[in-house]
Amino acid sequence: MIKVVGIRFKKAGKIYYFDPVDIDVKKGDNVIVETIRGLEFGNIVVGPKNILEEDLVSPLKPIIRFATDEDIKIHKENKVMAKEAYDVCEEKVKLHKLDMYLIDSEYTFDRNKLIFYFTAEGRIDFRELVKDLAAIFKTRIELRQIGVRDEAKSMGGLGCCGRSLCCASWLGDFQPVSIKMAKDQNLSLNPSKISGVCGRLFCCLKYEHETYVKILKRMPTINSIVLTPYGEGRVIDTNTLLESAKVIVDELDDIKICSIHEIKIIEMGKKSKYINTSQMVDKSEFEELKKLEEEDKKELGVSKPKKKYKKDRNQSNNRNKKDKENTEKSKDSNKDKKYDKKPYVKQDKKQGGKFEKKQDKNQRSNKNKKDKYKKEDKNKDKEINKENK
């Protein structure tokens, strides 16, 4: 077991784990740590805890020291200087007429590097811009292109729920979201209703999806025949969150709302393509949703699963019929055939293009026996002729 602490460098940023060494740190402390970019100022979000060595993805880097008052002052100065650098960079982008949108700027703690974050539709040649910025700020310049989700995270805003965006307030990592999650939660598949400020599918579709999946495994589908405390009936509607179903009871000829735990499924109904009529969408809307899902996966670096090609039923049926006909024909032809008693002879190529016959073991053994008997008979004849002379 290894002792680690979780540190964030930005508000709602990704949590990175470090080795506390012998420093007695706790949640909420400001510390200076060593990273790939050099020294960084961070805040401890996850207190000291023990984890297995197998869970570590990369070797841990140590915490150097607690952040002093001077360090906190430098950190605040860096933020002010980064804002000034942002304004200068924006002017230079306009001068060079580059088709890019500047989002944010950031200084490393030791001011060895100045990073600018931007969004653009394609690739941009910003070499001249980097030269100008390096001449002004006299430090290393890095221009980093980010996705639409990261843009919403750094800019912030309000969601359709009326609260501040999850990604800007507390969500550390982005996770892939699919259309299936909206289907399972019985939501409308209209792109405008299930996509956020960034134009991608809502991140919050992922939060409750696991509980919906667990409940749906126990839920009867519509048109299922079930046994209730009131008698046998047919399911006409379900409520996943309440874990209940509306059932038309045959004996009472009335609709009753029953809990899943009170119901016994006799026969499961066929699952419909859409859960309800609100999920019926046009092809254009459905294609738009698919594009959003694919773009989201590209940004997060999720690889596509291999396609499983389905065989056409008509083709497979025709093949099966042909195979049956061929087997029947071969059976009939085998009945009419009269096989010779000659043993099977294999032929192998020899060097020079000649063939050498390979006979069965039984035939070889029979030949050897005959040759022996012939030799014995000749020897006997010779002896008899000698005696006669």
The residue-averaged pLDDT of 360-384 equals 61
Lowest mean pLDDT of 140-144, 201-205, 250-254, 316-320, name the range.
316-320
CA distance 20 to 26: 10
Q: What percent of the chain has pLDDT over 90?
A: 22
CA angle 354, 355, 357 (to 5 degrees): 155
Q: What is the DSSP letter of 87?
A: H
The pLDDT of residue 329 is above 90: no
Residue by residue, DSSP assigns 314-379 as HHHHHHHHHHHHHHHHHHHHHHH----SPPP-EEEE-TTS-EEEE--HHHHHHHHHHHHHHHHHHH
Per-residue pLDDT at 130: 92
The residue-averaged pLDDT of 335-349 equals 47
Per-residue pLDDT at 105: 93
CA angle 106, 124, 177 (to 5 degrees): 70
Neighbouring C-beta atoms of residue 90, cutoff 10 Å: 14
The pLDDT of residue 239 is above 80: yes
Between these two residues, 17 and 269, which has the higher pLDDT value? 17
Per-residue pLDDT at 295: 73
Contacts with 251 (C-beta within 8 Å, 6 or more apart), sequence order: 230, 231, 232
The string of pLDDT tens digits covering residues 258-271 is 888 888 888 887 76
What's the pLDDT band for 312 if we cut at 50, 70, 90?
very low
User: Taking the model in full, what pTM does it have?
Assistant: 0.64
316 - beta bridge partners?
none
Q: In terms of Cα–Cα distance, which of 167, 169, 171, 163 is closest to 153?
A: 167
The residue-averaged pLDDT of 103-131 equals 90
The pLDDT of residue 34 is above 70: yes
Q: And the tokens for 177?
A: 């979201």
CB 189 within 8 A of CB 279: yes
Tell me how long the chain is: 389
Per-residue pLDDT at 341: 45
CA distance 166 to 197: 11
Q: Kindly state the helix (H) or strand (E) to which residue 308 belongs, with its residue range.
A: none
Can you list the positions of beta strands (E) in the chain? 2-8, 16-18, 30-35, 38-51, 63-66, 101-107, 113-119, 140-145, 225-228, 231-239, 244-249, 254-259, 264-267, 346-349, 355-358
The pLDDT of residue 336 is above 70: no
Residue by residue, DSSP assigns 236-271 as EEEETTTTEEEEEETTTTEEEEEEGGG-EEEEPPPP
Per-residue pLDDT at 71: 92
The pLDDT of residue 389 is above 80: no
The pLDDT of residue 342 is above 70: no
The string of pLDDT tens digits covering residues 85-98 is 999 999 999 999 99
Q: And the tokens for 240?
A: 């996943």
Q: Kindly state the helix (H) or strand (E) to which residue 155 belongs, with its residue range.
A: helix 148-155
